[in-house]
Amino acid sequence: MSARPPGEARIGLRHGAGGPAMRGLVESLFAAGQREDAPDRIGLGALDDGALLRVGARWLVFTTDSHVVKPVFFPGGDIGRLAVSGTVNDLAMMGATEPLGLSCSVILEEGFEREALERIQASIDATCREAGTFVVTGDTKVMGRGELDGVVLNTAGIGFAERPVRDDGLRPGDRILVTGTLGDHGLAVMARRHDLGLGEELRSDVAPLNGLVRAALAAGGEAVVAMKDPTRGGVASALHEMAAKGGVGVLLQEAELPVRPAVRAAAELLGLDPLQVANEGKALLGVRPEAAKRVLEALQAHPLGRDARCIGVCTPERPGAVILDTGFGRRLVAEAEGELLPRIC
């Protein structure tokens, strides 16, 4: 029997943090026996935001996402809005901007307040209306007190993509666009979870992005070559994956990174890098250089894309690396390893 290194014998929080540990678990375990990608199927092995299944002449996108968040209600959103947006956005990142329908499974802890559940459902309903979709099937389970922390939601969704967009399409020269400010969700939740009293300016950005992405695809067409939503692990993890899969380096300009002053201040206070903090209402787009301006203007014309920016460019050098030009010098941008932990000094 091969000895596992200490700390690998059990699952740790890092295995769910969206970084290398999680990818390792998916690749070595979950996807290991499910690798038979075929011309009409792009599945788990691709580690994209969702699967692509050919149905007749069209591509059906299928994705699923489980949601746990503490607290369940946070500034700017709640677990219901998160669950709908998460799945709608994963579909949109593959090019399916008109979801056909969602499933929603609810797992509750005995004793969960009915009133809170009603608020969550109202939020699910409102977010579905915003995204132009419906929950069409679901499931309910209740577990004993202490067997679960409050509520877990799982959503899945399907939609057709006229032109599937993958996360591996970057080429040297492509521009990297982000649809708005970075780090809002992660810092808002962290500040509320730990009662940091950092003021009400920290609000989650959680939102369904399918309308915004539809506008970008309409403006850019074939020139939009890669998309990913920078959720857990933040922009750093998402760009690392896109750079590695595309075989390019990414050079970011720090001066162009849109970060709200309150988020910047809170991140500095906690010793966190906004590039590594989760977003729930933002997308990264890789766009051919000649279309970058056009797509950026289309994003900025949409209410959810007003703060969109071109933040970087793909280079042939250092494939897989993400480099930040700070204006002082350049450094590598690392992926967060495990849960984000604040520094002590």
Partner 1 sequence: MSASGLAPPADGEALRFRDPVRARALLRVLERATRPREADPVCLMHVCGSHEQAIARFGLRAALPKGLRVIAGPGCPVCVTDAPEVDEAVTLAERGLRVLTYGDMLRVPGSARSLADARAEGARVEVVYSVAQAVDAARACDEELVFFATGFETTAVATAAVLLGDPPPNFSVLSAHKYIPPVMEIVAEMPGTRIEGFLAAGHAATITGSAVFEPFVARHGVPVVVAGFEPLDVLAGLARLVELVRRGEPRVENAFPRCVTREGNRRAQERLWSVFEPAGGCWRGITRVPNGNLRLRPAFVRFDARRRFEAWLRDPARPAPSPLAQQCVCGDVMAGLASPSDCALFGRSCTPATPVGACMVSSEGTCRIWHQYGGHPDLGVSA
Report the Cα 339 to chain-centroid distance in Å. 16
Binding test (CB under 8 A) with partner 1, winner from 18, 21, 99, 277: 21
Residue 18 backbone phi and psi in degrees, to 5: 85, 0
Minimum CB separation of residue 326 from partner 1 in Å reads: 4
Pick the piece of the chain touching partner 1 (CB under 8 A) from 122-130, 202-210, 216-224, 329-337: 329-337
Size of the site for partner 1 (CB under 8 A): 47
Binding test (CB under 8 A) with partner 1, winner from 256, 290, 301, 316: 256
Among 90, 92, 104, smallest CA distance to 134 is for 104
**Cα dihedral 36/39/43/49 (nearest 10):** 160
Token digits of residue 26: 């998916």
By beta-carbon proximity to partner 1, the closer residue of 39 and 261 is 261
By beta-carbon proximity to partner 1, the closer residue of 222 and 317 is 317
Binding test (CB under 8 A) with partner 1, winner from 12, 71, 111, 221: 12
Query: Which positions from 195 through 234 interact with partner 1, judged by CB under 8 A?
Result: 196
3-state secondary structure of 115: helix
Minimum CB separation of residue 188 from partner 1 in Å reads: 16
Minimum CB separation of residue 201 from partner 1 in Å reads: 11
Beta bridge partners of 142: 108
Minimum CB separation of residue 26 from partner 1 in Å reads: 15
Minimum CB separation of residue 16 from partner 1 in Å reads: 12
Alpha-helix runs per DSSP H in the chain:
20-25, 79-93, 114-131, 184-193, 210-220, 234-246, 261-270, 292-300
Alpha-helix runs per DSSP H in 132-248:
184-193, 210-220, 234-246
By beta-carbon proximity to partner 1, the closer residue of 8 and 149 is 8
By beta-carbon proximity to partner 1, the closer residue of 132 and 172 is 172
Binding test (CB under 8 A) with partner 1, winner from 181, 210, 231, 279: 181
Q: Does residue 155 contact residue 83 with C-beta atoms inside 8 Å?
A: yes
Pick the piece of the chain touching partner 1 (CB under 8 A) from 26-34, 46-54, 161-169, 252-260: 252-260
Pick the piece of the chain touching partner 1 (CB under 8 A) from 112-120, 125-133, 139-147, 260-268: 260-268
Binding test (CB under 8 A) with partner 1, winner from 255, 290, 301, 316: 255
Binding test (CB under 8 A) with partner 1, winner from 271, 290, 301, 316: 271
By beta-carbon proximity to partner 1, the closer residue of 157 and 230 is 230
Amino acid (1-letter code) at residue 279: N
Site for partner 1 contains 29 (CB under 8 A)? no
Amino acid (1-letter code) at residue 101: G
Binding test (CB under 8 A) with partner 1, winner from 175, 260, 288, 302: 260
Query: Which positions from 289 through 328 interact with partner 1, judged by CB under 8 A?
Result: 296, 306-307, 309-310, 323-328
40 CB-near residues (< 8 Å, 6+ apart) = 53, 54
Minimum CB separation of residue 77 from partner 1 in Å reads: 21
Euclidean distance between CA atoms 31 and 47, whole angstroms: 9
Token digits of residue 215: 């506008």
Amino acid (1-letter code) at residue 164: P
By beta-carbon proximity to partner 1, the closer residue of 159 and 286 is 286
328 CB-near residues (< 8 Å, 6+ apart) = none
Euclidean distance between CA atoms 101 and 304, whole angstroms: 22
Among 151, 169, 58, 157, smallest CA distance to 113 is for 151
Rg (Cα) of the chain, in Å, rounded? 20
Which residues form the interface with partner 1 (CB under 8 A)? 5-8, 10-14, 20-21, 181, 194, 196, 255-256, 258-261, 264, 270-271, 273, 296, 306-307, 309-310, 323-332, 334, 337-338, 341-345
